[in-house]
Amino acid sequence: MKSSGLGTHWGFVCVWLLCFVNASVSGSFPKAQNVTWVSFNFKTLLTWSPKPTNYSYTVEFSKLGEDNQRTPHCIQMSETECDLTAELRELKSKYGADVLSEPLRGISSDLIEFPRTASAQFCPYQDTIIGSPSFKIEVSKDKRKITLYIEDIPTAVLDAQKQQRTIQDIFKNDLQYKVTYNKAKSSGKKEKRSASSQIELTDLDKGASYCFTVQVYIPSRSINKQLGEESQVQCSEAEDLSFFENYSSAVIAGGIVFIIVIISAVIAVMVICCRRQREAKNGGNAIL
């Protein structure tokens, strides 16, 4: 009986030890790697690797010079990204973030400081990637002018009324557009920059088809981040022009004058030739 009681006692001890091991962790966890900011039209994620197995990640972030903060959806999680769009409210400020490697939820640890990996600094206004704009093409009635109407780009930033703010709302007077265009089937390209979303182009051949791409241009940014993504190429339709539409009145008048000169020259040559033939014939008759 004693042996049986002792065995039962040790059984309870083993179960208790197993529960203790499961409820607490000693030692360290792998540090997060490749901590990177990924931001597109002001939707901003912090990403890292590797995928955790028996541990979790917690993200801390702060505006430069201020204390670290946490957001509830990025505490002791198994994902390798954290959406901080709503947390980075001051778009022109610089931010930093740390990814901490921690035990799983419900498990304690005897570590005082958990392994952490810091990100580079990030400024939404200066660093987010700007997407490609959409635009419409309008050809004037006289077919000598093309106007591009560029649509504003929505962002992930919400205003006080929970409405999406646009690129124009955020960058205001700092926003410009770069248009690159060329005559269809020609490799020669031209560029134009404008602060207006309605851009008129007049240095075009009348009625010819032209192809356009548009990019957002932010001159206050560093050179490698000034341009947004290129739009899809759009081309205007070529117009079937009458003879008088293809050429200006001056060109037509010049052509008429040229034809008259040629005809006059031909007539003059013919008259001279006829006169010489007549003179030669008369001269021959006089000798006889």
Q: How confident is the model at residue 240 (pLDDT cuts 50, 70, 90)?
A: low
Residues 66 and 86 in one domain: yes
Q: For 235, phi and psi rounded to 5 degrees?
A: -120, 145
Domain extent for 199: 135-240
Q: Given 206, 224, 240, which residue is the final one in a domain?
A: 240
Question: What pTM value is reported for the model?
Answer: 0.74
With respect to residue 105, please indicate whether it lies within any of the assigned structural domains. yes
Residues 121 and 145 in one domain: no
Residues 159 and 223 in one domain: yes
Average pLDDT over residues 201-219: 94
Q: What pLDDT sits at residue 210?
A: 96
Q: Which helix (H) or strand (E) holds 260?
A: helix 249-287
Handedness of CA 191, 195, 197, 202 (dihedral sign): negative
265-288 pLDDT per residue, tens: 888 778 787 877 777 766 655 555
Residues 141 and 236 in one domain: yes
Question: Taking a C-beta distance cutoff of 8 angstroms, is the pair 231, 215 a contact?
Answer: yes
98-143 pLDDT per residue, tens: 999 999 998 888 888 999 999 999 999 999 999 999 999 999 998 8
**pLDDT, greater one: 12 or 62:** 62
Domain count, the chain: 2
Residues 115 and 193 in one domain: no
With respect to residue 5, please indicate whether it lies within any of the assigned structural domains. no
Residues 235 and 140 in one domain: yes
Residues 162 and 90 in one domain: no
For residues 72 and 101, give the distance between their C-alpha atoms in angstroms, rounded to a whole number: 16
With respect to residue 275, please indicate whether it lies within any of the assigned structural domains. no
Residues 44 and 98 in one domain: yes
The radius of gyration computed from the CA coordinates of the chain, to the nearest angstrom, equals 39
With respect to residue 214, please indicate whether it lies within any of the assigned structural domains. yes
For residues 163 and 152, give the distance between their C-alpha atoms in angstroms, rounded to a whole number: 14
With respect to residue 121, please indicate whether it lies within any of the assigned structural domains. yes
**pLDDT(4) > 50:** no
Q: What pLDDT sits at residue 273?
A: 79
Residues 152 and 90 in one domain: no
Q: Given 207, 225, 240, which residue is the final one in a domain?
A: 240
165-181 pLDDT per residue, tens: 999 999 999 999 999 99
With respect to residue 184, please indicate whether it lies within any of the assigned structural domains. yes
**pLDDT(217) > 80:** yes
Residues 37 and 99 in one domain: yes
Q: Which of 59-63, 136-140, 250-254, 265-269 has the lowest mean pLDDT?
A: 250-254
With respect to residue 47, please indicate whether it lies within any of the assigned structural domains. yes
- Domain with residue 181: its CATH number is 2.60.40.10
Q: Given 81, 97, 127, which residue is the final one in a domain?
A: 127
**pLDDT(242) > 70:** no
With respect to residue 259, please indicate whether it lies within any of the assigned structural domains. no
**pLDDT(32) > 80:** yes
Residues 73 and 139 in one domain: no
